[in-house]
């Protein structure tokens, strides 16, 4: 026969074994796919194209020089992003992108201005791959000028620093805008009124003022109207995922659009646009005397709760119908409404604060607080669970994408109670996962993978993640066994010391116990009572009373 507790344990073991076998198959398939995709002779993945040497031109002809160059002074020209330096009696322009930085120092009544230039072999750093036209050529690393006018030298240094910052910022903005694709024009519906949802707020907001707007469904996209002339257009062809999140357990009801390519809203670049309305309204407690005569507080509270439920249900219905109309209008682009599974949700920190993260049919999402998180399941290569070890209350999740150049997504501080649920969900959607007790350096790992993916998969691919956790478990067991041996030794030492301290008393007590036990064997109650009475008469009781006193004194 089997106990109820044993039956549950066996069932859990069977479930764990089935999951382990399935994961083994998924990892093997992932390894095979990696070996096929990154076959022999496959290059590295360091960017889609190699960095090229850029030429910078300050002036096309001498006539464009500022008029002050004839004074042969150090001049900063922000208009042309250049610094003009007097060298051997001639003004020589340098573009700001060829300059690394500028510093000043004081010595013996002179102020020294040192201008450092970019050149090969300037130490390890992110700019180590800075391309040069001829790296073997002779380079001027720095130029130093001195003057007794300290104020002017400091002013030149500040101007150069500001110009350098502006140039770097401009370059970064240009890089950020590379993936922003210019959208086609929205085709408006003319023959009838478009489907419309009023009193809607949008995130990211267009302005700091919190004013509602309206969303309309047109022929090839959505249009959000805000305060008269301001509008945002989203084309169905650019929509990757469409989500509807009801207000169950939330303060807002949401329609969320995740895009293929980012768009500009005001000055912000975004791939996620959200339309929402608050589910709660301001409540007023009516406690007038007329009302108080006929009704009591509990009835009013119950009625308010029922009204709140009705309003929330109506709000969910209104938003769900509108989301389905969006999907119907965009069916040519295979749009479908996806909805989060709240029962499978878990808490975690994907960015700044702890939020509820919920799976959907195609994604893992967090739509309640910005910055939003939308991870498409088909984009995931493998998931690694970190800090999974006995005694810790939380663990972390690292999502590695199939596009290795994309940084892994981290969800930190997930309660350990959600571990089995997360594992079951990952296994159910056929995502291979591993677990380990430590946080890994993913920047270094991904750098290795990108540098030579063929060698990475040839050497076992992602198997090192599971191997690491196995070896860690093994080392822990060894440590425990070693500790056990030392504990026994320690215990034996302590016991021997105790025995030596209390040897006399212990042996005396033991001998008395042995005598009593030998005498007690085979005797009836009458004989035992007689012996006890005889011991009392002979003064045995006095000896018994003295013993504990003696023992207490030795303590």
User: Is residue 455's pLDDT more than 80?
Assistant: yes
Q: Of the given ranges (254-258, 310-314, 320-324, 376-380), which has the lowest mean pLDDT? A: 310-314
Does residue 329 share a domain with residue 207? yes
Whether residue 2 is contained in a domain is answered as no
The mean-pLDDT minimum among 65-79, 195-209, 420-434, 485-499 falls in 485-499
Percentage of the chain modeled with pLDDT above 70:
77
pLDDT tens digit sequence for 40-53: 766 666 544 455 66
Q: Same domain for 123 and 157?
A: yes
Q: Tell which wins on pLDDT, 166 or 535.
A: 166
Which of these, 377, 424, 372, lies nearest to 399 by C-alpha position? 377
For residue 331, the domain's CATH number is 2.30.29.150
- For the chain, the maximum distance between any two Cα atoms, rounded to a whole number of angstroms, is 134
* Gap between the Cα atoms of 259 and 388, Å rounded: 34
Burial of 495 (0-12, 13-18, 19+ CB in 10 A): exposed
Number of C-beta neighbours around residue 505 at 10 A: 13
173 and 208 co-located in one domain: no
Which residues, other chains included, contact 531 with Cβ-Cβ below 8 Å and sequence gap of 6+?
A: 519
Domain total in the chain: 4
Kindly state whether residues 287 and 331 are assigned to the same domain: yes
367 close to 340: Cβ distance less than 8 angstroms: yes
78 Cβ contact list (under 8 Å, min separation 6): 159, 163, 166
CB 358 within 8 A of CB 373: no
478 and 378: one domain? yes
In this predicted structure, the answer to whether residue 167 has a pLDDT above a threshold of 80 is: yes
Say yes or no to pLDDT of 437 above 80. Answer: yes
> Structure pTM?
0.70
Using pLDDT thresholds of 50, 70 and 90, give the confidence band for residue 287.
Answer: low
Instruction: Note whether 186 and 218 are within 8 A (CB).
Output: yes
> Mean pLDDT, to the nearest integer, of 77-104?
93
| Percentages (nearest 5) of helix, strand, coil residues in the chain | 45, 25, 30
Last residue of a domain, one of 296, 313, 339: 339
The confidence score (pLDDT) of residue 381 equals 96
**pLDDT for 240 beyond 60:** yes
Within-domain flag for 5: no
Per DSSP, the three-state class of 373 is: strand
Average pLDDT over residues 278-298: 58
401 and 437 Cβ atoms separated by less than 8 Å: no
Q: Please check the confidence at residue 554 and state whether its pLDDT lies above 50.
A: no
Q: Three-class SS of residue 533?
A: helix
Query: Is there a domain that residue 466 lies in?
Result: yes
Task: Give per-residue pLDDT as tens, 318-359.
Answer: 999 999 999 999 988 889 999 999 999 999 999 989 999 999
- CATH number assigned to the domain comprising residue 159: 2.30.29.210
**pLDDT for residue 266:** 82
- Give CA–CA dist 180/431, Å, rounded: 31
Domain-embedded: residue 3: no
Distance CA 313, CA 324 (A): 16
Among 57-66, 80-89, 190-199, 207-216, the range scoring the smallest mean pLDDT is 207-216
Q: Which of 78, 103, 88 is nearest to 153 (CA)?
A: 103
Mean pLDDT of the chain: 82
- Does residue 371 have a cis peptide bond before it, meaning omega lies within 30 degrees of 0? yes
| Domain end point (choices 276, 305, 339) | 339
* Chain centroid to CA 134: 42
For residue 535, the model assigns a pLDDT of 81
Q: What domain range includes position 539?
A: 503-554
Mean pLDDT of 157-166: 95
CA angle (92, 95, 97) in 5-degree steps: 145
Q: What is the distance between the terminal CA atoms of the chain, rounded to a whole angstrom?
A: 53
447 touches 43 (CB < 8 A): no
């Amino acid at each position: 026969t089997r106990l109820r507790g044993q039956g549950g344990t066996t069932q859990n073991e069977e479930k764990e074994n089935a999951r382990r076998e399935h994961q083994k198959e998924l990892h093997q398939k992932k390894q095979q796919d990696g070996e096929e995709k990154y076959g022999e002779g496959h290059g590295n993945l360091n960017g889609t194209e190699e960095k090229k040497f850029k030429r910078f031109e300050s002036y096309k002809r001498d006539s464009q020089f500022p008029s002050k160059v004839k004074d042969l002074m150090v001049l900063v020209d922000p208009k042309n992003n250049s610094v003009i330096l007097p060298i051997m009696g001639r003004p020589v322009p340098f573009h700001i992108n060829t300059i690394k930085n500028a510093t000043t120092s004081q010595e013996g009544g002179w102020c020294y201005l040192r201008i450092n230039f970019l050149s090969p072999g300037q130490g390890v750093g992110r700019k180590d791959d800075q391309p040069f036209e001829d790296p073997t050529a002779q380079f001027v690393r720095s130029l130093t000028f001195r003057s007794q006018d300290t104020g002017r030298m400091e002013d030149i240094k500040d101007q150069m620093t500001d110009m350098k910052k502006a140039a770097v910022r401009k370059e970064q903005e240009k890089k950020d805008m590379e993936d922003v694709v210019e959208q086609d024009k929205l085709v408006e519906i003319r023959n009838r009124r478009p489907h419309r949802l009023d009193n809607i707020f949008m995130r990211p907001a267009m302005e700091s003022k919190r004013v509602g707007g309206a969303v309309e469904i047109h022929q090839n996209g959505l249009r959000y109207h805000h305060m008269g002339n301001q509008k945002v257009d989203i084309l169905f062809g650019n929509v990757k995922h469409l989500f509807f999140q009801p207000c169950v357990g939330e303060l807002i009801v949401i329609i969320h659009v995740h895009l293929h390519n980012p768009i500009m809203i005001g000055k912000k670049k975004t791939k996620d646009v959200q339309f929402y309305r608050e589910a709660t309204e301001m409540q007023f407690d009516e406690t007038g005397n007329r009302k108080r005569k006929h009704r009591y507080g509990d009835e009013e509270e119950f009625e308010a709760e029922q009204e709140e439920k009705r309003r929330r249900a109506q709000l969910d219905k209104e938003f769900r119908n509108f989301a389905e109309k969006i999907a119907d209008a965009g069916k040519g682009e295979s749009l479908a409404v996806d909805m989060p599974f709240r029962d499978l949700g878990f808490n975690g920190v994907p960015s700044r604060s702890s939020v509820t993260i919920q799976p959907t049919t195609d994604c893992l999402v967090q739509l309640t607080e910005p910055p939003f998180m939308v991870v498409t399941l088909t984009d995931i290569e493998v998931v690694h669970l970190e800090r999974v070890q006995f005694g810790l209350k939380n663990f972390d999740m690292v999502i590695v994408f199939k596009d290795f150049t994309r940084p892994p997504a981290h969800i930190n501080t997930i309660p350990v109670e959600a571990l089995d649920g997360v594992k079951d969900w990952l296994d159910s959607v056929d995502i291979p996962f591993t677990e380990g007790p430590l946080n890994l350096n993913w920047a270094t790992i991904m750098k290795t993978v990108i540098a030579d993916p063929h060698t990475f998969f040839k050497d076992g691919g992602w198997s090192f993640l599971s191997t690491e956790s196995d070896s860690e478990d093994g080392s822990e067991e060894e440590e425990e066994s070693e500790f056990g041996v030392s504990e026994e030794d320690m215990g034996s030492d302590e016991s021997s010391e105790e025995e030596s301290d209390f040897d006399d008393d212990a042996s005396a007590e033991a001998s008395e116990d042995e005598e009593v036990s030998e005498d007690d064997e085979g005797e009836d109650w009458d004989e035992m009572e007689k012996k006890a009475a005889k011991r009392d008469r002979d003064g045995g009781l006095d000896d018994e009373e003295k013993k504990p006193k003696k023992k207490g004194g030795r303590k």
